[in-house]
Amino acid sequence: MAPPSNFPMHQAINRTPLNVDATASVTTVLALIADRRMDYALISDEQRLVGIFTHRDLVRLVATAKLLTELTIAAVMTRNLICLDEPVTQDLLEVLTKMRQHRIRHLPVVTAGGRCCGIITQESLRDFLNPVDLLRFRRVREVMTTAVVSASSDASALTVTQLMHGHRVSCVVITEQAQNSIIKPIGIITERDIAQLSLQNIDLGATTAASIMRAPLALIQPEETLWNAHEMMQAKDLQRLVVIDATGALAGIVTQTSVLSIVDPIEAHMTITTLQKIVDNRTSSLQRANEQLQRQISERKRAKAALQKQMVRERLINRISQRIRESLDLIEILSMAVAEVRQFLQVDRALIYQFQPDGNGTIEVESVDANVPFLKDLSWGDEAQRLFSAEFYRSGRIHSIPDLAASRPEETQQQNLSKLGIQANLVVPIGEHERLWGLLVVNECSAPRRWEQSEINLLQQLSNQLVIAIHQSGLYQQLQVANQELKQLASVDGLTQLSNRRRFDECLALEWKRLAREQQPLTLIMCDVDHFKRYNDAYGHLGGDTCLRQVAQAIQVSIKRPADMAARYGGEEFAVILPNTDAQGGMSVARQIQSHIAGLRLPHTNSPTNDFVTLSLGVACFVPTLSLSPNALIEAADGALYQAKAAGRNQFVLHQDLIGQEAMIKSQSPDI
């Protein structure tokens, strides 16, 4: 997962919030909230955001017996707003923290002039995060609220409203006591329900909770995963689920706020934070060492020239350290390092050599003077391995040769250096022992050179910084791989390994827009396993899962082109998108699917249609236009699927709408 600072927060902003004038009446605003199926309204005065009105504000009014018909929205709205400035610069973690700190569910986004240009809500954050893996491994019991406010079914709606207001909660669970003294939940009343009753001018004092509660309840148990809770909320358009234990007794409640509390991208954030601390600590240590060194220089009254050179060297290290903090491109950092070192030391060549696992190596980056050849362009075979031996440098040894002609290295090494035109050589390892990564090498080719201790220290300091850069780059690559895997998981159905519903919607929308521009046909096939409930009854859910996987494989092998896509649409229903395919092509693919399904010969003894598993298919072909929605194609294919089922199943029906007229073409499945 990417760190919070890398999340595109603009995708979580609803740019079309409900915005009303401050002079509007409360009843008018309530009608708009109900019509838009929202739980808030933003209040503006002369295009400047001045307040917000939520279901919580309505509960407060009803609980205190305010007459809604006599009030304007400006008189009852919440004024002291917590907002974000446009453009939004906060990262995801900061936004979540702000919402929890202030116990709010709505975070407006305003321009510099105070005009509202969007809003972030818990719903938009939940849809934006799509927290697949984090939720699959966490349990409801970890985040559920056990202190649930409840009331009996004979309590009045006004009493329930007063309970909401007094406890500052968004719902009250209606319960009854069973014969075994267990308190069981039988319904729920939310702020939205109170809002609807107020809009209808119903007397809350004379209305019982039993007559307005929502029932039957959407229930979940503590040991179920948060992913199950998340999917149930999305499928049923709910903001909360009631939690019961194994006996059916009320155990707690889990809300969207609870789910959001678990999906902070903490792991990726902590990885980047830890890495940043490492760099900061190293930089801080380096700065402290520099200060101490400068004090020693002052105390010993070193020459001004030496002090200036020291300062230049430290600025070089700081520049490289800054680049390491700013960039995750390892080659860019290494190239900048050798160029800076060659310029600072005024040497003929600087290079970085990387060891491979087999002990060999390659020159990764190199910087040379205008009159000096690149070593990596020379043909020098195994000489590199003899010059740059991993075993020689593994202990952290620094190899310094000031004058090749005056020194007495081994004969072979002296010949190798002479052949390459090197007269002075300095090599510093990058890493050590089992973590030896490579070598930092500088050469003097025009004349011998006595390497000063300060120059050796510089290369050692730079080597330490490069170790940080290499480690940082490795962590970043791991994060990239993890992000790619997460993206793959988010677009693939876990059971069938086909594309999931989310990926299907994205692909259909993209192909619709593209083919609308090109005015080419787009075909959609909707498939449904015939009598699948009876199959589950006969063979069990595990057998049903196996059946769906085999059906999915049969559908997948029926499509040939890279642009074609098969997806699990939901349950036992599948969909196939065929871009640039006319009706005849769509029917050909449908026949291929039928043929492959027939070839499986999966027994289905409970099917009144056939002794083996069969499919009903609906085929629709449109030439998309921008005036139509892709839903039109889905409805057409779904209608054709309905016709196939009505006609006896085990067949496909074509719904064609290419020239403004509708036609139905039926085709029986091949015999199994």
How far, in Å, CA of 457 to CA of 392, rounded?
20
Whether residue 50 contacts residue 43, with contact meaning beta carbons closer than 8 Å, is answered with yes
How far, in Å, CA of 667 to CA of 55, rounded?
54
CA distances from 543 to 534, 546, 623 (A): 12, 5, 40
Instruction: List 424's β-bridge partners, or say none.
Output: 444
Extract the runs of DSSP E, i.e. beta strands, from 369-433.
399-401, 424-430
Name the strand (E) or helix (H) holding 48. strand 48-54
CA distances from 555 to 347, 586, 595 (A): 65, 13, 10
Residue whose C-alpha is closest to residue 158's, from 131, 129, 198, 121: 198
Q: Is 337 helix (H, G, I), strand (E, B) or coil?
A: helix
Extract the runs of DSSP E, i.e. beta strands, from 470-564.
522-529
How far, in Å, CA of 642 to CA of 617, rounded?
9
Q: In degrees, to the nearest 5, what angle opens at C-alpha 438 toward C-alphas 434 and 444?
A: 145
How far, in Å, CA of 33 to CA of 569, rounded?
32
Among candidate residues 224, 572, 635, 662, the one labeled active-site is 572
Residue whose C-alpha is closest to residue 59's, from 30, 32, 79: 30
CA distances from 637 to 393, 557, 585 (A): 69, 21, 15
Whether residue 417 contacts residue 400, with contact meaning beta carbons closer than 8 Å, is answered with no
Residue whose C-alpha is closest to residue 414's, from 383, 450, 381, 382: 383
Q: Can you say how many angstroms the Cα of residue 284 is from the centroid of all Cα atoms in its chain?
A: 34
How far, in Å, CA of 158 to CA of 166, rounded?
12
Active-site residue flag, 455? no
Q: Is 65 helix (H, G, I), strand (E, B) or coil?
A: coil
Burial of 412 (0-12, 13-18, 19+ CB in 10 A): exposed
Whether residue 639 contacts residue 657, with contact meaning beta carbons closer than 8 Å, is answered with no
Q: Which residues of 492-509 are buried (b: 16+ CB within 10 A; e: fewer)?
A: bbeebebbbeebbeebbe
Half-sphere exposure of 198 (CA within 13 A, CB side): 29
Bond before 670 cis per omega within 30 degrees:
no
Pairing of strands 116-121, 349-355: unpaired
List, in order, residues 6 or more apart from 277 with CB less than 8 Å away.
none
Active site residues: 572
